[in-house]
């Protein structure tokens, strides 16, 4: 099925999340008792796709999951959210990705990812689905899948005039100049910006430097300080976070990326998309879990247009 004109294609990772709640993070070598745990769907790409769909935008996926129970749960979850997963590959060569998450009493989290089948998403997988790239408005990717695969997808998107959004996480070192040049909007948090720009202690300087290497702009996410859009030769645009008391910040950044991409697909306006992203990310902190905490488009837009 062809995608409609205002649609998002996500080159997506998927993780089966296990999240435990604790009062305080354990110290090295310390064993503590949890306050409870939950399991469910996660992974940056999948989370972002769910938020796109909740914003009312047609959403499709390219990615790889295992031929296991967790993979079957992923397919059911995407179907429930109206996401086109027909381009998802199931493999017996690796299990579905996993993530171990710890959430403390302040709503902060630590996450350890085992990529599993996500590491098998290949250049050939992307090339087989070029018809989806041809039809989407926005292509989104993260770094929980191989960088060569992202690079090929973004190259095809550039050929077909599609907008590319790269959430460069996790960031374990600088990106190639070629990949950055194929990226329209780069979305990073403060730590990731410093890693990518190799500026150790100043995320604002890092984001400005990165904005000169991408095609359109950099969105620097700043947690409870909101986010800032940097564009070459333009003044930065800042959007403050909503005044919420965080219960769990897991997946909040993915919510921001998804809402940003969804609104960008509809309007093409980065500043409006930034407002949607920040509002969505703030609302995602109000509930436990990742995609299960995400707000629908009608709830996001109420915050975007709120008085003041």
Q: Which residues are catalytic?
A: 254
For residue 217, the surrounding DSSP H or E stretch is strand 217-221
Give how far the C-alpha of residue 186 lies from the chain's centroid of Cα atoms, to the nearest Å.
Answer: 11
Helix boundaries (H) for the chain? 44-54, 69-80, 123-128, 130-135, 147-159, 177-181, 190-197, 203-211, 252-267, 270-284, 297-304
Neighbours of 223 (CB within 10 A): 16
Strand-pairing partners, residue 230, are 218
Scanning the structure block, which residue is given the tokens 């950099």?
218
CA distances 150 to 60, 73, 178, Å, are 16, 25, 11
Relative to beta strand 163-167, strand 138-142 is: parallel
Question: What is the spatial distance between Cα 251 and Cα 173, in angstroms, rounded to a whole number?
Answer: 22
Counting DSSP H helices and E strands in the chain, the numbers are 11, 13
CA distances 2 to 58, 94, 129, 159, Å, are 11, 30, 11, 18
CA distances 227 to 83, 93, 179, 221, 304, Å, are 27, 39, 23, 4, 14
């Amino acid at each position: 099925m062809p995608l409609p004109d205002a649609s998002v294609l996500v080159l997506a990772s998927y993780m089966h999340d296990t999240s435990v709640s604790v009062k305080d993070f354990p110290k090295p070598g310390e064993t503590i008792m949890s306050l409870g745990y939950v399991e469910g769907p996660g992974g940056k790409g999948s989370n972002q796709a769910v938020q796109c769909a909740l914003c009312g935008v047609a959403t499709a996926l390219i990615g790889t999951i295992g031929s296991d129970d967790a993979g079957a749960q992923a397919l059911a979850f995407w179907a429930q959210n109206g996401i086109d997963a027909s381009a998802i590959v199931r493999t017996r060569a690796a299990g579905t990705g996993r993530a171990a998450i710890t959430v403390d009493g302040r709503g902060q989290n630590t996450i350890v990812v085992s990529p599993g089948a996500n590491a098998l998403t290949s250049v050939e997988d992307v090339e087989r689905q070029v018809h989806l790239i041809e039809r989407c408005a926005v292509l989104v990717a993260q770094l929980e899948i191989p960088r060569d695969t992202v690079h090929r997808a973004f190259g095809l998107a550039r050929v077909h005039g599609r907008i590319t959004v790269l959430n460069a996480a996790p960031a374990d070192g600088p990106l190639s100049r070629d990949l950055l040049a194929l990226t329209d909007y780069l979305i990073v948090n403060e730590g990731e910006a410093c890693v990518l720009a190799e500026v150790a202690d100043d995320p604002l300087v890092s984001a400005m430097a990165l904005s000169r290497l991408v095609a359109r702009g950099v969105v620097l996410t700043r947690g409870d300080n909101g986010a800032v859009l940097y564009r070459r030769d333009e003044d930065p645009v800042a959007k403050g976070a909503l005044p919420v008391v965080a219960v769990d910040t897991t997946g909040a950044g993915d919510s921001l990326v998804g809402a940003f991409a969804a609104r960008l697909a509809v309007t093409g306006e980065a500043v409006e998309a930034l407002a949607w992203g920040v509002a969505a990310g703030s609302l995602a902190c109000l509930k436990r879990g990742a995609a299960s905490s995400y707000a629908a488009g009608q709830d996001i837009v109420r915050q975007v247009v709120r008085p003041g």
